[in-house]
Amino acid sequence: MQDAVKDFKAFILRGNVIDLAVGVAIGAAFTTVVKSFTDNLLTPILAIPGSKPDFSSLDFHIRHATFRYGAFINEIISFVLIAAAVFFFVVRPVNTLMARRKTEPAVMSTTRDCPYCLSSIPIAASRCAFCTADVGAA
């Protein structure tokens, strides 16, 4: 029993589990922020050209079944607005920051393309080995 408790304690205290727990907690908090942003700031923009930003009252009936297609339209609009908000306000800025932080040294290529046959030849070559064209030294 002590071994099981010891193993469980080691499992819980591993970095991956803690990172995952923090990620889930931050994700849940971030979800409420993004949902509030889209519901309170982006969705009302839909009311500008139309009469209202809420389509949930739209439905139709066939016999005793009610098809609430307006609620489905609301969810599609909400999804698109949330995806756009996340992309433009999170993904793009993070990608830009990561590109600025990228410090990998540039790798020099040892080959170039022949301008005639587009084969890969050494940079120092003055003649293409494939088409025998005179390509001049680089």
Question: Would you place residue 61 in the very low, low, confident or very high pLDDT band (cuts 50, 70, 90)?
Answer: very high
Least confident of 5-14, 24-33, 115-124, 126-135: 5-14
CATH topology of domain 2-104: 1.10.1200
Look at residue 15 in the predicted model and tell me its pLDDT.
Answer: 64
Here the tokens at position 5 are: 């408790």
Instruction: Tabulate helix, strand, coil % of the chain (nearest 5).
Output: 55, 10, 35
Q: What mean pLDDT do residues 64-84 have? A: 85
Residue 15, C-beta contacts closer than 8 angstroms, at least 6 positions apart: none
Q: Where are the alpha helices (DSSP H) in 51-115?
A: 69-86, 92-101
Q: Are 119 and 130 in contact (CB under 8 A)?
A: yes
For the CA atoms of 20, 23, 28, 34, what is the dihedral angle to 10 degrees?
-150
pLDDT at 1 over 70: yes
Q: What mean pLDDT do residues 1-10 have? A: 80
- Sorted by where each begins, the domain ranges of the chain are 2-104, 108-138
Least confident of 30-34, 61-65, 91-95: 30-34
Look at residue 97 in the predicted model and tell me its pLDDT.
Answer: 86
pLDDT at 70 over 80: yes
